[in-house]
Structure 1
Amino acid sequence: MIRDAELSDVPALVELEERCFETDLLSPRSFRHFLIRGNADVFLDEEDGVLRGYCIVLYHRNTSLARLYSMAVASKYRKQGIAGALLLYAEQRALAEGATRMRLEVNQANKAAQRLYRSLGYDKFAVVLDYYEDHANALRMEKDLAPHLAPDPEHAPYYRQTLDFTCGPACLLMAMKAHDPEMKADRSLEIQLWRESTTVFMTSGLGGCGALGLALAAMRRGFEIEVSVSNETEIFVNSVRSEEKKEVIRLVEQQFVRELAQAGVLIRRRPLTAKDIKERLKRDGIPVALISSYRLTGEKVPHWIKITSFDDRFIYINDPFVDPEEDRTETDCIGIPIVPQELDRMMRLGRRKHFASLIVYPKRKDATL
């Protein structure tokens, strides 16, 4: 019988975990954490009070993405269909929670598990080197839980930000590499892009990047650019208290505006909608948008994301921020499906509904960089 796990099941879950795995074990604290948090489900299979297997599914806030985080079946009960039953049960629960895509990671050496996942419709989309504690590689797999609603999106280049304040440069890296696959996307270029586009200061510490600075950085590398932004200066000036820092931000933003004007780049003062985003994607543009991360992660900070593709139901995004404290990996941050209405809400920030985005088009024919 499959049922939802309870806190009283933690000792049995830990015992099963220790019997099934030698590395990457979940602790009692981890199981309790998953059981009491609002964006995870823990299911178990038992017979006559004996725990035979379990699985954990994580949900990505305000998106339609779920992830099979862990699954284990006691050795004496394997090859009895328990793992498959648990996964199918988890898929149905994920659909009920609004998820239409399930992802997972599996040890590259675990052929039995891979056969199971493939038999249930999972396809490999990436290989991650040195993923586990014992340095084994992992395969990333996914399944569309509602194939009649949405075809597979095209997987676009992914780059994980390496610093707290480089989400914008990381997204710009992804957009530029999509147009120029030979471009080397590394930390050196990530930091260089930040240096070129930073506002210098934010609430605390080093500053993030605005649409104007990012647009200039892309333009200098030969890409055609479209910019849509409200009062960007106000967004960043209001994030600091010091009048001296406010003045520095104003000067930086004024210089960005002058350079864009000299280059003939029009700054649009109208927000892009999800409908506009789809039109730009059709025209070979790659949107990079500033969103309210509160709707994505629960944190009230502006955050850059790259928009990769769309279908009849969703718009797909890459999130450059991977938060291990929330048990996330790159699997959770690539091709996240979001309904257009939710994306429209994400792209308006704060009480004043600020907006900022840029569209990166292929390089100009006369570009030399």
Structure 2
Amino acid sequence: MTETSFRLAVSADIDNLVTLENRCFNDDRISRRSFRRFIEMPRDRVVVAVEGDQILGYSLVLMHAATRLARIYSIAVSPQARGRGLGEQLIRQSEQQAVEAGRIIMRLEVREDNTGAIALYRRLGYRVFGTYRDYYEDHGNALRFERRILFYEPSREFPAVPYYPQTTDFSCGPAALIMAMATLDDQLSLTTLEELKIWREATTIFMLAGHGGCGPHGLALAAWHRGFHATAYISKEGALFKDTVRNDDKKRVLELVHEGFMHDLGQTGIELHHDPLTLDKMAQALKGGQVPIILISTWQLNRSRVPHWVTVCAMDDQFVYLHDPEIDTAEGETVADKQYLPVDRRIFDQMARYGKNQPLQAAVIVGPRRTD
């Protein structure tokens, strides 16, 4: 039997691709003209499975111009070649093409009644994140799947940062700090009790709703009190998050808490800079064996404008790599989804700002244990 190989389609394949398309689909077919356009488009990829001069399958991968997303727009396997795992191999080949193009996430759509394809995608690690109603020509619905495909390979240039997931909805700051401190001390206690102790020390009392969240002053103090060097970069002076509450009494409480933090900071050697932490300074800190934790807006991650703390693990020319302590298990997320999460440097610069008018930029750099 001739061995199956995979390659990118060329113009000479168009006749065979059209024939395969017509054999596999009754509706929503890709036209000859569209195949030609996709093949000639430098950004997109048409991967074909070939035996001899016969095309047994293809996968069409679209690369979004403005984001790091890739999308399998269509995938087809010839009826006589089914049952040989070609669909899975085409998906893997498509993912590799997308990774080489610097894409982070692969997405695809599948008919909600296509149980075989859905089982395959789930087995390959894809998870449902939405539904398109009335998506197909026959008005059928489509499930939207996605999978992270680009993963960071740790290098000796940066410290290896252990992962610790937050165990409550409100303790992202303590979890991010625990990851930073555990990088510098492998004997550190990674427990929920320690997480909650830090939250009690660092909370700013009031937030948008629910339990209070942690601010940079409190997290820097929590690191210092546990014996670590700490440097805080905060773009604003005065009490933070005052615009998240309307009640004057609550605003005054925030001011009093801030005054207390500033008094306590004055009793330590913590450096406080009222400037944003630049990417260059962040990279210098990482290369020097320090670990930054950053306050971000989650709008870029999940379209929710919530302040959220993450730990920066590594950087390169394209990405800032994060440990995000929040795992949404209800959405099918796993630890692997939140470790060394690559964020485009340009997007990260937007993420690391919370609020609309004069957005807050806040970071704490945790350094090695002090000798005093």
- In the TM superposition, residue 364 of structure 1 has moved relative to its aligned partner by 0.6
Counterpart CA distance in 2 for 1:66 and 1:173 is: 34
Match of 2:128 in 1: none
Pick from 204, 207, 210: which aligns with 1:202?
207
Q: Do the aligned residues in 1 keep the contact of 2:292 with 2:312 (CA within 8 Å)?
A: yes
- In the TM superposition, residue 339 of structure 1 has moved relative to its aligned partner by 2.6
Q: Do the aligned residues in 2 keep the contact of 1:322 with 1:328 (CA within 8 Å)?
A: yes
Counterpart CA distance in 1 for 2:320 and 2:344 is: 6
Match of 1:287 in 2: 292
Relative contact order higher in (CA < 8 Å, ≥ 6 apart): 1
Q: Does 1:362 align with 2:358?
A: no
- In the TM superposition, residue 357 of structure 1 has moved relative to its aligned partner by 0.5
Q: 1:258 to 1:154 in 2, by over 3 A?
A: closer
Counterpart CA distance in 2 for 1:358 and 1:54 is: 48
Q: Does 1:99 align with 2:99?
A: no
- In the TM superposition, residue 307 of structure 1 has moved relative to its aligned partner by 0.2
Q: Does 1:263 align with 2:279?
A: no
Counterpart CA distance in 1 for 2:97 and 2:263 is: 54
Deviations 1:303-345 (A, max 9, x none): 1110001123222111111123443222221101123222222
Q: Does 1:329 align with 2:329?
A: no
Percent identity reads 37
- In the TM superposition, residue 79 of structure 1 has moved relative to its aligned partner by 3.9
Deviations 1:257-312 (A, max 9, x none): 11111113231011111111101111111000111111222111111110001123
- In the TM superposition, residue 144 of structure 1 has moved relative to its aligned partner by 5.8
Match of 2:253 in 1: 248
| TM-score, scaled to structure 1 | 0.65
Counterpart CA distance in 2 for 1:252 and 1:67 is: 48
Q: Do the aligned residues in 2 keep the contact of 1:225 with 1:358 (CA within 8 Å)?
A: yes
Match of 1:135 in 2: none
Match of 1:352 in 2: 358
Secondary structure of 1:199's partner? coil
- In the TM superposition, residue 66 of structure 1 has moved relative to its aligned partner by 8.0
Q: Do the aligned residues in 2 keep the contact of 1:169 with 1:194 (CA within 8 Å)?
A: yes
Match of 1:19 in 2: none
CA RMSD in angstroms comes to 4.4
AA of the residue aligned to 2:179: M
Q: Does 1:236 align with 2:241?
A: yes
Deviations 1:241-262 (A, max 9, x none): 1222111111111111111111
AA of the residue aligned to 1:99: R
- In the TM superposition, residue 53 of structure 1 has moved relative to its aligned partner by 11
Q: Does 1:185 align with 2:190?
A: yes
Counterpart CA distance in 2 for 1:264 and 1:339 is: 34
Within 5 Å, give how 1:9-28 maps onto structure 2: none
Counterpart CA distance in 2 for 1:276 and 1:91 is: 33
Counterpart CA distance in 1 for 2:260 and 2:361 is: 20
Counterpart CA distance in 2 for 1:54 and 1:324 is: 33
Q: Does 1:298 align with 2:312?
A: no
Deviations 1:106-132 (A, max 9, x none): xxxxxxx9xxx9xxxxxxxxxxxxxxx
Counterpart CA distance in 2 for 1:177 and 1:329 is: 21
Within 5 Å, give how 1:308-327 maps onto structure 2: 308-327=313-332
Aligned pairs, how many? 284
Counterpart CA distance in 2 for 1:66 and 1:235 is: 38
Match of 2:162 in 1: 157
AA of the residue aligned to 2:309: W
Secondary structure of 2:219's partner? helix
Q: Do the aligned residues in 1 keep the contact of 2:296 with 2:352 (CA within 8 Å)?
A: yes
Q: 1:187 to 1:324 in 2, by over 3 A?
A: same
Give the number of the structure whose alpha-carbon radius of gyration is greater.
Answer: 2
- In the TM superposition, residue 100 of structure 1 has moved relative to its aligned partner by 4.8
Q: Do the aligned residues in 2 keep the contact of 1:64 with 1:337 (CA within 8 Å)?
A: no
Q: Do the aligned residues in 1 keep the contact of 2:231 with 2:365 (CA within 8 Å)?
A: yes
| TM-score, scaled to structure 2 | 0.64
- In the TM superposition, residue 181 of structure 1 has moved relative to its aligned partner by 1.0
Counterpart CA distance in 1 for 2:83 and 2:297 is: 45
Counterpart CA distance in 2 for 1:301 and 1:214 is: 18
Deviations 1:222-246 (A, max 9, x none): 0000011133644321111122211
AA of the residue aligned to 1:248: V
Counterpart CA distance in 1 for 2:334 and 2:160 is: 16
- In the TM superposition, residue 90 of structure 1 has moved relative to its aligned partner by 3.7
- In the TM superposition, residue 185 of structure 1 has moved relative to its aligned partner by 0.7
Q: 1:267 to 1:80 in 2, by over 3 A?
A: closer
Counterpart CA distance in 2 for 1:296 and 1:340 is: 14
Match of 1:174 in 2: 179
Runs of 5+ consecutive residues of structure 1 not aligned to the other structure: 10-44, 47-51, 103-112, 118-139
* Structure 1, 336-345 or 253-262: larger mean CA deviation: 336-345
Secondary structure of 2:241's partner? helix
